[in-house]
Chain A
Amino acid sequence: MVEATGDASLSDEELLARIAREDRGAFTMLMRRHGPKVRGLALSFSGQAADAEDITQEVFIMLWRRPDAWRPGGAAFSTWLYRVVVNRCIDQARRKRLRSWLPFAEVPDPAADAPDAFADVAGREHLAEVRHMIRDLPEKQRLALLLSVQGERSNAEIGAVLGVSEGAAEQLLVRARRTLRAKMKAKEDAQ
């Protein structure tokens, strides 16, 4: 196994080439670079810190084992990575829905609004409410919104990640933003 540098100037492609030679330094660098957004998307989508942890680990372990899974020349690495995370999020949500029908269903994890899930905004009730509103959105609208707000992806990239046209991605965003804006306004008016 190669133990090498974690040079921040290396491109994702170069890091993956090094990971293929079992370079843990490169692997660590890749995690440092993309980990916040991978975990952030998983956490914002699922609302469960434990689920986000599982998805993050699964995604990075897959990258360690199959660094050639992404091929240069197609979608940018970050777009491809978001697609992987989105698929894992959807799979996990589907499994949870299935499990919830079983008589021996697990007790749900505490919500990610728990202080340690978002330590930097602990106690900010308003933001917790907004997170709840986002989690109440339909799955695709939620993902489109998170990719825009958190991932800073363009509408075209969001379409590519979700496997829909740019126009369809825009419609998802319009519905999500309209719903959230109305809910937030209603909340403000009620106060």
Chain B
Amino acid sequence: MNREELNEALLRFGGDLERWPEGKKEAASLLVASDPTAARMLADFAAFERTLADAVRPAPFGAGEIGGVLQALDATEASWSPTPRFWIASAGLSALSFAAGFAAMMMASAQDVSPSLIDFASGQANFGGLL
């Protein structure tokens, strides 16, 4: 590895050699150990990355921030409104209830029901010869 390759690898993998692919890490370590300019390049890049890290260091996320999320959660749950999934489930349950009620009614009054209604319910009605 030469200095130019070291520079490219620093830009690609960052200044922490431990995070480099094994082969490149070894080559860079050898270069840095034997070339003071390369060692300086590595040190400068590490300083550059430390500056970046300091610039974007996360702000504290403590009780106040957690409380803010919980408060927002409570507020959204208090103003809950039905979603399409809710309406689909409701419609399905209504249809099932209706079918169950109809079946129960049919069974309870099977003796009183006319044969044509039973045919209709079972899908076998003639409909005046149309089918």
Task: Give A residues with C-beta under 8 Å from B.
Answer: 24, 27-28, 31-32, 35-37, 39-40, 43-44, 53, 56-57, 60-61, 64, 117-121, 126-128, 130-131, 134, 145-146, 148-150, 154-155, 170, 173-174, 177-178, 180-181, 184
Contacts and interface: CB of A to CB of B under 8 A. Distances in A.
Contacts of B11: 173-174, 177-178
B98 interface: no
A117 B59 contact: yes
State the main secondary structure of chain A at its contact with B.
helix
Interface of B: 8, 10-14, 19, 48-49, 51-61, 65-66, 68-70, 72-73, 76
Contacts of A120: 57, 59-60
A150 B56 contact: yes
Contact of B61 (A36, A61, A174): A36
A24 B14 CA distance: 39
A146 B61 contact: no
Contacts of A61: 69, 72-73, 76
Given A40-B58, A119-B59, A150-B57, 8 more contacts: A28-B66, A37-B58, A43-B59, A61-B72, A119-B60, A130-B52, A148-B14, A155-B13
